[in-house]
């Protein structure tokens, strides 16, 4: 594989960041400065897949690429999805030290529910890229009861900040709660759609990403995906 891809898989940085490190002369391969056309041959080790070549960042050897792991977290309100070691509210403090896991997308700090965690960059890319329009299902409670017109407008697409959201699936749960399935990942999208129609979101829970469902995972807890869940998720985004 290309060197930048390997560097990203070790968890040092993103692929774009790896490209910058190579450009800036911070990566060496077999004792020489690396360049963008360098490739890496992988070998299996007990720790994961490692480069056959000796690759360093600022003189320090890069770790092996860990075996791929897939976890889910039932995120609590107040948890910040940014990985910030100095922030007590950061997701960083909830994750295991090994393997190194990264959130697939984010949930707002004031939202809760399903958060997928993995070190599989390819799966992350497929789920995050806007061209794939993957489905994410949410349950939402508003500050007051809504009528059928609200549901119709939400489903058709709502205009705010010089954009109009894509049509989506919406169904009523009770007088002030609804379920919505989005294929976009706009920042605070449900909150801004609701606000544009005169309502305020008081509770927002993500309950599913494609075939992956939160199920009965207790709030604040995380667990590995089962083989069945992983197979179904990979099939749904193939």
Domain ranges of the chain: 3-61, 70-130+211-236, 135-209
| Mean pLDDT within 166-187 | 95
Task: Give every CB contact of residue 33 below 8 A, 6+ residues apart in sequence.
Answer: 25, 27
47 pLDDT band, cuts 50/70/90, is low
**3-61 shares its CATH topology with 135-209:** no
Question: Which CATH architecture fits 135-209?
Answer: 2-Layer Sandwich (3.30)
Torsion of CA 125, 130, 131, 135, to 10 degrees: 90
Candidates 30, 80, 108, 147; catalytic one: 108
Tell me the mean pLDDT in the region 38-42.
91
Band (121; pLDDT cuts 50, 70, 90): confident
- pTM (global) more than 0.75: yes
Please answer whether residues 45 and 64 qualify as being in contact, where contact means their C-beta atoms are separated by less than 8 angstroms. yes
Whole-angstrom Cα distance, residue 166 to residue 97?
39
Superfamily of domain 3-61: RNA-binding S4 domain (3.10.290.10)
Active-site annotation holds for 120:
no
- Separation of alpha carbons 92 and 48, rounded Å: 22
What is the fold of 70-130+211-236? Alpha-Beta Plaits (3.30.70)
> What is the end-to-end Cα distance of the chain in Å, rounded?
21
Among 130-139, 156-165, 196-205, the least confident range? 130-139
């Amino acid at each position: 594989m290309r060197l930048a891809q390997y560097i990203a898989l070790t968890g040092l940085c993103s692929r774009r960041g790896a490209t910058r490190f190579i450009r800036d002369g911070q990566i060496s391969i077999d004792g020489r400065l690396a360049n963008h056309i360098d490739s890496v041959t992988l070998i299996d080790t007990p720790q994961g897949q490692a480069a056959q070549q000796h690759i360093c960042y600022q003189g320090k050897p890069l770790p092996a690429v860990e075996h791929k792991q897939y976890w889910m977290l039932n995120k609590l309100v107040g948890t910040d999805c940014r990985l910030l070691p100095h922030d007590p509210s950061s997701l960083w403090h909830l994750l295991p030290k090994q393997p190194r896991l990264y959130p697939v997308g984010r949930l707002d700090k004031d939202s809760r529910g399903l958060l997928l965690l993995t070190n599989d960059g390819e799966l992350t890319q497929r789920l995050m890229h806007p061209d794939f329009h993957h489905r994410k299902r949410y349950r939402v409670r508003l500050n007051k009861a809504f009528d059928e017109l609200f549901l119709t407008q939400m489903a058709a697409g709502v205009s705010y900040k010089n954009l109009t959201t894509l049509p989506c699936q919406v169904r009523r749960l009770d007088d002030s709660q609804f379920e919505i399935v989005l294929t976009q990942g706009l920042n605070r999208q449900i909150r801004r759609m609701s606000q544009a129609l005169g309502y305020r979101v008081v509770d927002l829970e993500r309950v599913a990403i494609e075939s992956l469902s939160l199920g009965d995972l207790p709030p604040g807890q995380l667990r590995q995906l089962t083989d069945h869940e992983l197979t179904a998720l990979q099939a749904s985004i193939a």
